[in-house]
Amino acid sequence: MNPVRTATVLTHRRPSETRPAIDALIEIARRVGATLYVDPDETRKHRLEHGLGLEVDVQGRIDVDICFALGGDGTILTALRRYAGTGVPVFAVNFGEIGFLATVDKEDAPRGFDRAFAGDFEVLTLPGIAVSGAGGEWLAINDVSMHRQPGNRVADLAYAVGADEIGRVRCDGLVVATPAGSTGYNLANGGPVMAWGVAGFVVSFIAPHSLTA
């Protein structure tokens, strides 16, 4: 990858935890001649002021070389959704509990930032799930679950790839997961784990009914 010249950052709700990492990002950006662009929410959260290597209160989705996400999986997913389909990689530092989606742990953040700005990283492409319905359209990075309405009969669901129907299942619902999301709801539902890098999805059914009257 080419050296990074423009970057942005998203953080979780506890600025006291991530502020040292923000300061490290600004210092490294200044040292290598790059610029860190920060949106109004992050500007207020960390009380940042415009200066060398730092542009604050930037509106809208920022066109940059890389996005740094400092937080747990929720923050990382927000960054991934924001930059989905743009080609902008997300470099995630775990400041949460599990950090399954994180690139590095917070203790290794400064060294990780140095390598990121130098372009010394590999981009892993993650598939997403596009969902459309009467209420609009959404993009899921981890998983999508569909459930029958409470009080209704068991759902009779057909599933297909393209125009080819694969089968039908009577159940209470289903979970569709990406490889990154396969260790979440899907695994708890008895579905298999998929390795990162696999270009596919996993479908697991919620309380499938195998008996007929």
pLDDT one-digit tens code per residue, 28-70: 999 999 999 999 999 999 999 999 999 999 987 778 999 999 9
136 and 111 co-located in one domain: no
For 79, counting Cβ atoms within 10 Å of its Cβ (0-12 exposed, 13-18 middle, 19+ buried), the class is buried
Distance CA 186, CA 51 (A): 46
Mean pLDDT computed over 134-160: 88
Reply yes or no on whether the pLDDT at 2 is more than 90. no
**Final residue in a domain of this structure, among 93, 117, 141:** 117
What values do phi and psi take at 42, rounded to 5?
A: -70, -35
Q: Whole-angstrom distance between the N-terminal and C-terminal Cα of the chain?
A: 60
How large a percentage of the chain has pLDDT more than 70? 99
Distance CA 134, CA 132 (A): 7
Q: Residue 207 has what pLDDT?
A: 93
CA dihedral over 154, 160, 180, 77, signed as positive or negative: negative
112 and 11 co-located in one domain: yes
Reply yes or no on whether the pLDDT at 129 is more than 60. yes
**Average pLDDT of every residue of the chain:** 91
pLDDT (tens digit per residue) in 9-34: 999 989 999 999 999 999 999 999 99
User: Is 18 part of a structural domain of the chain?
Assistant: yes
**Domain coverage including residue 89:** 6-117
User: What residues form DSSP beta bridges with 37?
Assistant: 8, 55
Does residue 41 have an active-site annotation? Answer: no
For residue 211, what pLDDT band results from cuts at 50, 70 and 90?
Answer: low
User: What residues form DSSP beta bridges with 36?
Assistant: 7, 54
Q: Residue 10 has what pLDDT?
A: 96
Q: Report the domain count for the chain.
A: 2
Q: Among residues 65, 73, 143, 156, which one is catalytic?
A: 73
Mean pLDDT computed over 133-153: 88
Q: Considering the entire predicted model, what is its pTM?
A: 0.83
Alpha helices (H) in the chain, listed in sequence order: 15-32, 40-46, 73-82, 109-117, 185-188
SS3 (DSSP) at 108: helix
Reply yes or no on whether the pLDDT at 213 is more than 70. no
| Domain of residue 47, CATH code | 3.40.50.10330
User: Is 95 part of a structural domain of the chain?
Assistant: yes
